[in-house]
Amino acid sequence: MQLSLVIPAYNEAESLPELIAWIRRVCDAHFSQYEIWVIDDGSQDETWTVLEKLKAEHPYHLRALRFARNYGKSAALYVGFQRAQGHVIITLDADLQDSPDEIPALYDMIVHQGYDLVSGWKKHRRDPLSKRLPSRLFNQVVRLVTGIPLHDFNSGIKAYKAHAAKAIELYGEMHRYIPYLVKSAGFTRIGEKIVTHYPRKYGYSKFGWERFIYGFLDLLTVSFLVRFGKRPMHLFGSLGLLAFLVGLTTVGWLIYDKLHQLALYGTVRREVYQQPLFYLGLASVILGVQLFLAGFLGELFLRQNPHKHTYTLLAEL
């Protein structure tokens, strides 16, 4: 199979017929083998009914899955990646803002230019200023944290080598950081292509302002998981050992100071337990032990409970 298209859809009944017809026109002209996976992410409108009709019209190319509830875009992409059979996987949003005309060029960059991932850059974005400005700030922060020089991390239109897409695990809101996850999985050839972006034709955006707050929180989560997700003892153990040594040194110095005063003067200005520094040192020792135990328990948990995510399917076409 040359190409798989993975399209998450949530309440996109109006746009899907036009989108599928557009994709068919482009792919029929350039590819002999391709498949289209549409993941209905628990839609509340007629999305699944529309997909059933489209399946009857395009029985050989269209595939569809229906989630029992709304799990989110990351879950839809993850399941779509696992089902896809193509050597190249391209993702599109279902709202007609991403152009299927970009598919051949993205495919060429993966197959002939050797990229593992190509991310679309909506340089001329057709969204209101209230979405563009926070998005620009978000991308600047992610570039700084990840070291990947992309302009649009959260772009819905991306192309992947199949091995790269299937190597990453997505859940929660991890789709915002797919380039970082792909790079961390060992696929380092990451490119970017300026793509056409259209204004929304039907419905309304499913994302509100809160996604930017969640996005920054998820960035902290992803950074931690990439660096220490498989070895929590390296983080918690190191911090615990440092805190324990600082606390032990503090308490040890206070005891030494008391003995030194007794040797010189036969008395002490204040008992050890009367000094605030003693309690800070004691708290540091306790904190160090707790952090070390957290790392140890994390290692045990990883070995006894492999990280798996399951999603309930209602139907498949």
Model confidence pLDDT, tens digit, residues 265-317: 777 777 877 788 888 988 998 988 888 888 777 767 755 655 566 677 878 88
Q: Which of 9, 82, 37 is nearest to 311 (CA)?
A: 82
Q: Is the pLDDT of residue 130 over 70?
A: no
Q: What pLDDT score does 206 carry?
A: 55
Average pLDDT of the residues of the chain: 86
How does residue 198 score in pLDDT terms, banded at 50, 70 and 90? confident
Q: Which two tokens stand for residue 115?
A: 């990229």
- Of 18 and 140, which is predicted with more confidence? 18
SS3 170: coil
At residue 125, φ and ψ (nearest 5 deg) are -85, 130
Mean pLDDT of 125-142: 76
Q: What pLDDT score does 77 carry?
A: 95
Q: Is the pLDDT of residue 160 over 90?
A: yes
- Type of residue at 269: R
Q: What pLDDT score does 204 carry?
A: 65
State pLDDT tens for residues 214-227.
Answer: 666 777 777 776 67
Helix residue ranges, H only, the chain: 16-30, 47-57, 73-83, 103-111, 129-146, 162-166, 178-184, 210-228, 232-265, 276-304
CA distance 66 to 37: 11
Determine the straight-line distance between the first and last CA of the chain, rounded to whole angstroms: 19
Q: What pLDDT score does 190 carry?
A: 95
Contact 290, 24 (CB under 8 A): no
**Which superfamily does 3-228 belong to?**
Spore Coat Polysaccharide Biosynthesis Protein SpsA; Chain A (3.90.550.10)
CA distance 317 to 310: 19
Q: Is the pLDDT of residue 79 over 70?
A: yes
State pLDDT tens for residues 52-68.
Answer: 999 999 888 999 999 99
Q: Which of 28-32, 93-97, 160-164, 270-274 has the lowest mean pLDDT?
A: 270-274
CA dihedral (250, 255, 256, 260) in degrees, to 10, reads: 140
